[in-house]
Amino acid sequence: GEDVEQSLFLSVREGDSSVINCTYTDSSSTYLYWYKQEPGAGLQLLTYIFSNMDMKQDQRLTVLLNKKDKHLSLRIADTQTGDSAIYFCAEAYTGGFKTIFGAGTRLFVKA
């Protein structure tokens, strides 16, 4: 069945780059998303990539997609303490209304 997997924790120093990885199983997915969840809040969409793209850059965020390996990554350049949060990878398919979420990667940024 459909599944999205992520590592649970990542710790980086302020100013370094963070790379959060995700693997997915459904080859028919259309859009792949990254959401950010800050403490006590809901999920907010950070960025997304269409499944026929390899890379998307949006300011400090770079999304890389390896369709062959079904691997998605989110790179945050110049990581700041305000980037500390849980990051969810998600894939959408079946016409767009079904979305499967990973368990989330908790990013710790050390000053």
Question: Which residues are near other proteins by CB under 8 A?
Answer: 4, 8, 30-31, 33, 35, 40-45, 48, 50, 88, 92, 95-97, 99, 101-104
The nearest distance, CB 111 to other proteins, in angstroms, is: 26
Least spacing, CB of residue 56 vs other proteins, in Å: 13
Cα 78 from Cα 51, distance rounded (Å): 27
Q: Which is nearer to other proteins, 40 or 82 (CB)?
A: 40
Q: Cα(103)–Cα(20) distance, rounded to whole angstroms? A: 12
Tell how far CA 43 is from the center of its chain: 12
CB of 41 to other proteins, least distance (A): 5
Rounded CA-CA distance 19/33 in Å is 15
Residue position matching structure tokens 């368990």: 103
Q: How far is the CB of 6 from other proteins (least distance, A)?
A: 8
Residue with smaller CB distance to other proteins, 28 or 59: 28
Q: How far apart are the first and last CA of the chain?
A: 41
| Closer to other proteins by Cβ: residue 48 or 73 | 48
